[in-house]
Structures are given as C-alpha cells and as structure tokens.
C-alpha cells in the first residue's frame, strides 16, 4: 500500500483518489414495485454503472495518467454482491488500482446513513480526493459525495465539468443553471461530484479485463450504526398530469394519426 504523500515530490503530486460508483437499474430495465411496496423487484432488473459515476471514474483515471507518478485510483461501491460485482469489475478493468466493496444487503434509502457507512469504512484510507457522480439514477438524492466530504472533514464541490490539479489543491469548474459556470478552488482533502459529459469515457481493454482479476478487492461487511433518519414509506406510479392520448399500432397507422394531429389539431403544417 502506498504511503500518503500530498504535494509536489520531485515535481509530481502523488495522490490517493477514491471514486464512488453505484450499481443502478439500466435504462432498459423494467421497474416494478415489489410486494412490500417499499422497493422494486430486483429479480427483473439488470444492474449497470450509474452514468455520472462512470464519468467520475474516467476523470480520476485521466488525472492518474497525467500525473504518471504512482497516484492511486480506488473504486468504491456499496450494495449487494449480486448487483455490484459488475461495477467493480468494470472499474478495475478500466484502470482503477484496487477496489473496496462495502457489502450491505439492505435497501437503505437514507442518504445520511449511506454516507456514514462510507465514512466509517473509508476514513482510515485518508483519501486526498473523493470523486462521485452528481447523482444516482435510482434514488437521485444527489447528496452522498457532499455528505461524505463533510463527514471526513473535506472541502466539497458539486457539478464539476472540468478539473485542474495543482499543488495541494484542485480547481473545479462547476456547471450552474442555464449555461452559467463558476470556478472554485478546494484544498486537499476534497470531495467533488462530477457532472455527466465532463470527458470521453474509455472502454476497458482486453488487457485491462485480464488484469482486473489480479487486482485487490477489499470486502467490508457494512453495518448501519444508527437508525435511518428518512425512509421510503411506499413507492407508487406517478400520476399523469395531463389527459394523454395513446397512439400505437402499425407504423403507417401511427404516421397517419400524427399527420392528422399536426395538420388539423395543432395546425403546425398545412
């Protein structure tokens, strides 16, 4: 294991970067409420890497490659064995040095409890930098990276669309609403959430896939230390706000119907 060395050493910055990645249902998966009505039926779901997390991983790997000095990238995930194994494999195959898997079979929906579980199990690692996706496409709270940063006494920033590592600090370009941006500078240690589209993600190479098998995955049994402060009571199908007219069937029928709407109802075309 590497010693923790921050700052310029022989004019290079050796860092330890954690990337939080989450397994979430893929876009194509059908989402069904299970019999408890508190969670979804996972048996009909394909799990995949949360999209913004994969951009966060790429950003960390590009920093590692640019520094080219033994900077370490550790991919970290939490969840059940079945759902997360693909996430870790993917991270290691793309170039992460090792993985930490916090095993927790509960469908925990409280962002603060989740962050504490990360914090309790990561604090001894003394990461200089934590990257995470800006939000998960399942719970979508968008809080984990910021909560973890605060719990670990780090500076924090969200919605990073560009990063620049400097001596003892990271500059982050934040994407705000409607085309506005802002640069913030955070001293290490720092936790930064990454916006989708920040970089061009790589595919794992064959060599990477083969090499992943030899990399270390630390498995930790994650137990919640306190009672969750918020819970899902019941999931439900969103109510339709409008009276929606369904159009389906064969292509010719659909196109004829659309032409009628565009011409006669909306008068968009003549």
Partner 1 sequence: MILVILENQRGNIHVFSKEAVVAGQSLASKLGMELSILCMGENANSLKEQASDYKAKNLILAEHEMVSTYSADGYSKVLSDVIKDLSPKYVIMGHSYMVRDFLPRVSAKLDIPFVSDIISVTYDGDKPVFARQVFNAKLATNIQTDPNSSTTLLSFQSAAFSSDDIELGGSDAAPVFEVNLNSDDIKSSSEPEFQESSAGVDLTAANVIVSVGRGIESQDNIPMVESLAEAMGAEIASSRPVVDMGWLPSYRQVGSSGQVVSPNLYFSVGISGAIQHVVGMKGSKNIIAINKDEEAPIFEIADYAVIGDLMEIVPKLTEELKK
Residues from 192 through 251 that contact partner 1 (CB under 8 A)? 195-197, 200, 227-249, 251
CB of 244 to partner 1, least distance (A): 5
Find the farthest-apart pair of alpha carbons in the chain and give their distance in angstroms, rounded.
Answer: 73
Q: Which of residues 11-30 bind partner 1 (CB under 8 A)?
A: 25, 27-28, 30
Backbone angles phi, psi at 30, to 5 degrees: -90, 135
- Taking the least distance from each CB to partner 1, the nearer of 182 and 221 is 182
Q: Which of residues 89-148 bind partner 1 (CB under 8 A)?
A: 109-112, 115, 134, 137-143, 146-147
- Taking the least distance from each CB to partner 1, the nearer of 214 and 239 is 239
CB of 228 to partner 1, least distance (A): 8
CB of 124 to partner 1, least distance (A): 19
- Taking the least distance from each CB to partner 1, the nearer of 25 and 91 is 25
Q: Which of 91, 87, 49 is nearest to 72 (CA)?
A: 91
Among 176, 216, 221, 225, binds partner 1 (CB under 8 A): 176
Among 96, 174, 212, 222, binds partner 1 (CB under 8 A): 174
Among 13, 49, 114, 157, binds partner 1 (CB under 8 A): 157
Among 17, 18, 47, 51, binds partner 1 (CB under 8 A): 51
Rg (CA), the chain: 22
Using rule CB under 8 A, residue 168 touches partner 1: no
Per the CB < 8 A criterion, the answer to whether 108 and 114 are in contact is: yes
Burial level of 94, CB count in 10 A (0-12/13-18/19+)? Answer: buried
- Taking the least distance from each CB to partner 1, the nearer of 49 and 159 is 159
Q: How many residues bind partner 1 (CB under 8 A)?
A: 84
Among 5, 42, 62, 151, binds partner 1 (CB under 8 A): 151
Per the CB < 8 A criterion, the answer to whether 13 and 7 are in contact is: yes
Measure the CA–CA gap between 190 and 158, rounded to whole angstroms: 11
CB of 195 to partner 1, least distance (A): 8
Backbone angles phi, psi at 217, to 5 degrees: -120, 120
Using rule CB under 8 A, residue 8 touches partner 1: no
Residue 167's CB is within 10 A of a number of other CB atoms, namely: 10
Q: ∠ at Cα 236 (118, 232), nearest 5°?
A: 30
Measure the CA–CA gap between 150 and 62, rounded to whole angstroms: 25
């Amino acid at each position: 294991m590497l010693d923790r060395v921050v700052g310029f050493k022989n004019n290079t910055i050796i860092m330890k970067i954690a990337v939080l990645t989450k397994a979430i249902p893929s876009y194509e998966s059908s989402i069904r409420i299970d019999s408890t009505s508190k969670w979804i039926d996972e048996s009909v779901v394909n799990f995949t890497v949360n999209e913004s997390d994969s951009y966060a991983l790429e950003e960390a790997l590009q920093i590692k490659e640019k520094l080219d000095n033994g900077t370490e990238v550790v991919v970290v995930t939490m969840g059940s064995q079945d759902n997360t194994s693909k996430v870790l494999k993917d991270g290691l195959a793309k170039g992460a040095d090792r993985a930490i898997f916090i095993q927790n079979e509960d469908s925990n929906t409280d962002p603060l409890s989740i962050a504490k579980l990360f914090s309790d199990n990561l604090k001894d690692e003394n990461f200089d930098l934590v990257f995470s996706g800006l939000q998960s496409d399942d719970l979508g709270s968008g809080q984990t990276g910021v909560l973890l940063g605060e719990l670990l006494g780090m500076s924090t920033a969200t919605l990073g669309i560009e990063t620049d590592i400097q001596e003892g600090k990271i500059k982050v370009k934040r994407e705000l609403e409607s085309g506005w941006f802002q640069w913030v500078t955070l001293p290490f240690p720092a936790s930064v959430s990454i916006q989708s589209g920040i970089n061009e993600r790589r595919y794992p190479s064959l060599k990477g896939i083969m090499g992943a098998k030899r990399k270390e995955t630390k498995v930790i049994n994650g137990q919640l230390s306190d009672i969750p402060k918020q819970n899902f009571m019941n999931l439900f199908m969103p109510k339709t706000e409008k009276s929606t007219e369904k159009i389906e069937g064969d292509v010719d029928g659909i196109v004829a119907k659309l032409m009628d709407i565009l011409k006669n109802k909306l008068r968009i075309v003549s």
